[in-house]
C-alpha cells in the first residue's frame, strides 16, 4: 500500500482524533495554568436616608466590576503556574490533617474526599463486574437454544437503560417509602434510612454500577466462550476435570484478553463516575472527581466559574486514569510481544 492510499484511509480518523481529543486536551491543559478574573475598581458611594432635618448620609467605598465601553465586564487573564493545582489539592491543609491524625479533617477537603470515593468505587466494583459478567456469560452459554435469545435480551436490559435514569430508579426503590425499603423494614421490623449515612449511599451506588455494567461484560465474555476450543474441553472431561477446573484452567486463560479489555473499559468509565452522584443526590455525603470538576464549572452568584481549577481537576483525573491503566497496558504489551 502506497503512502497516498494509506493517508486516504487513516487521514480522516487522525483528523477527527486531533479535532475532538487532542485539541480539547491541549486546551484544558493550558487553561489550568491561567486564571481569568473580572477587573474590579473602587468607587465611593453616598447613601442618604429620607428626610430633611434628620437626614443622615453615609459614605463608603465599594469594589465593583469595571465595565468597558460596550457595557460588559472587563476580564483579565494571567499566568498562575501550578497555583490552580495547589488550590485543588490543598496539600498544606491535607498534611496538617494527616500529621494530627484527623481522618475526618482530611476527608473534609473536597479533592481527597472525592479521590477516596473514586478509588474505592472503581477498585471494588471492578472484580465484582468481572465475576458477575463471567457468571452470566456461563449461564447464557449453558442455556438451551430455545431460551438463549430471551435470556440475552433480559440480561442486556440494565445496560440499555440510560445511566441517569437507572440511577434514579434504584434511588426511588430505596429512598423513603420505596418498595425495597418498605420490604426491608417489614422484614427487619425496624425503620431504615438508606440515605442517612455515607457508607450506605456508597453501597447503593456500587450496587447500581455492577447492575448496569455487568451485562456488557457478560456479552463480551459470551462471545469469547464461542471460540473456546471444544477439543480441550472434551479432553478435560475425559481426564476427570470438574466444571470448576475446566473453567479455571481452560476457559479463564482463553478469556484473559477479553477480561483485560473489559477491565480497561470499566476502569476508565468508573473512575469518571458522575451519573451515580447526580442520580443518588449524594453531594452532601459522597462526591467524585468528575463531579468536583463539574462543581467548579457551575457559576457562582456573580456568574463566575472556576475554569482554571476545573481544568486542573480534569487533568488530575486523567492522570489517575492513566496510572490505573498502566498495569493492564503493560500486561497487554507483554502478551502481544510474547505472541510474536
Average pLDDT in the 95-121 region?
Answer: 90
Q: Is the pLDDT of residue 126 over 70?
A: yes
Q: Is the pLDDT of residue 207 over 60?
A: yes
Q: Is the pLDDT of residue 226 over 60?
A: yes
Q: Is the pLDDT of residue 324 over 70?
A: yes
CATH number of this structure's domain 103-338: 1.10.3720.10
Instruction: Tell me if 44 sits within 8 A of 61, measured CB to CB.
Output: yes
Average pLDDT in the 153-179 region?
Answer: 84
> What is the pLDDT at residue 338?
64
3-state secondary structure of 40: strand
Distance CA 225, CA 51 (A): 89
Q: Where are the domains of the chain?
A: 103-338
> What is the pLDDT at residue 328?
85
β 40-48/75-79 pair status: unpaired
> What is the pLDDT at residue 339?
53
**Residues pairing with 65 in the sheet:** 40
Distance CA 70, CA 73 (A): 9
> What is the pLDDT at residue 210?
93
- pTM (global) more than 0.85: no
> What is the pLDDT at residue 1?
63
Instruction: Tell me if 73 sits within 8 A of 67, measured CB to CB.
Output: yes
Burial of 143 (0-12, 13-18, 19+ CB in 10 A): middle
pLDDT tier at 198 (50, 70, 90 boundaries)? confident
| 283 φψ region: left (φ > 0), alpha (ψ -120 to 50), beta (else) | alpha
Average pLDDT in the 214-237 region?
Answer: 89
Q: Is the pLDDT of residue 57 over 60?
A: yes
pLDDT tier at 332 (50, 70, 90 boundaries)? confident
- Reported as a single tens digit per residue, the pLDDT across 13-41 is 888 888 888 898 899 999 999 988 878 87
Amino acid at each position: 500500500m502506497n503512502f497516498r492510499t494509506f493517508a486516504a484511509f487513516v487521514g480522516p480518523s487522525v483528523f477527527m482524533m486531533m479535532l475532538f481529543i487532542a485539541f480539547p486536551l491541549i486546551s484544558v491543559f493550558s487553561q489550568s495554568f491561567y486564571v481569568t478574573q473580572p477587573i474590579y475598581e473602587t468607587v465611593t458611594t453616598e447613601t442618604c436616608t429620607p428626610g430633611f432635618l434628620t437626614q443622615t448620609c453615609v459614605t463608603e467605598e465599594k469594589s465593583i466590576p469595571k465595565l468597558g465601553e460596550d457595557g460588559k465586564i472587563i476580564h483579565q487573564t494571567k499566568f498562575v503556574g501550578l497555583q490552580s493545582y495547589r488550590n485543588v489539592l490543598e496539600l498544606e491543609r491535607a498534611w496538617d490533617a494527616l500529621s494530627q491524625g484527623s481522618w475526618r479533617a482530611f476527608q473534609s477537603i473536597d479533592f481527597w474526599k472525592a479521590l477516596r470515593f473514586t478509588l474505592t468505587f472503581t477498585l471494588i466494583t471492578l472484580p465484582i463486574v468481572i465475576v458477575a459478567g463471567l457468571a452470566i456469560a456461563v449461564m447464557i452459554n449453558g442455556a438451551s437454544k430455545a431460551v438463549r435469545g430471551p435470556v440475552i435480551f433480559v440480561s442486556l436490559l440494565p445496560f440499555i437503560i440510560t445511566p441517569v435514569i437507572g440511577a434514579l430508579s434504584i434511588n426511588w426503590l430505596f429512598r423513603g417509602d420505596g418498595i425495597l425499603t418498605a420490604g426491608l423494614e417489614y422484614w427487619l421490623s425496624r425503620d431504615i434510612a438508606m440515605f442517612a449515612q455515607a457508607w450506605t449511599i456508597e453501597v447503593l451506588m456500587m450496587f447500581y454500577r455492577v447492575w448496569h455494567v455487568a451485562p456488557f461484560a457478560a456479552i463480551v465474555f459470551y462471545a469469547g466462550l464461542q471460540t473456546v476450543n471444544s477439543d480441550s474441553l472434551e479432553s478435560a472431561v475425559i481426564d476427570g476435570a470438574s466444571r470448576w477446573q475446566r473453567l479455571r484452567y481452560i476457559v479463564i486463560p482463553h478469556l484473559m484478553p477479553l477480561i483485560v479489555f473489559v477491565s480497561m473499559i470499566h476502569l476508565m468509565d468508573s473512575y469518571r463516575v458522575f451519573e451515580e452522584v447526580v442520580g443518588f443526590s449524594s453531594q452532601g455525603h459522597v462526591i467524585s472527581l468528575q463531579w468536583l470538576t463539574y462543581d467548579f464549572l457551575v457559576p457562582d452568584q456573580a456568574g463566575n466559574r472556576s475554569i482554571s481549577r476545573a481544568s486542573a481537576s480534569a487533568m488530575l483525573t486523567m492522570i489517575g486514569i492513566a496510572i490505573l491503566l498502566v498495569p493492564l497496558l503493560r500486561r497487554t504489551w507483554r502478551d502481544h510481544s510474547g505472541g510474536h
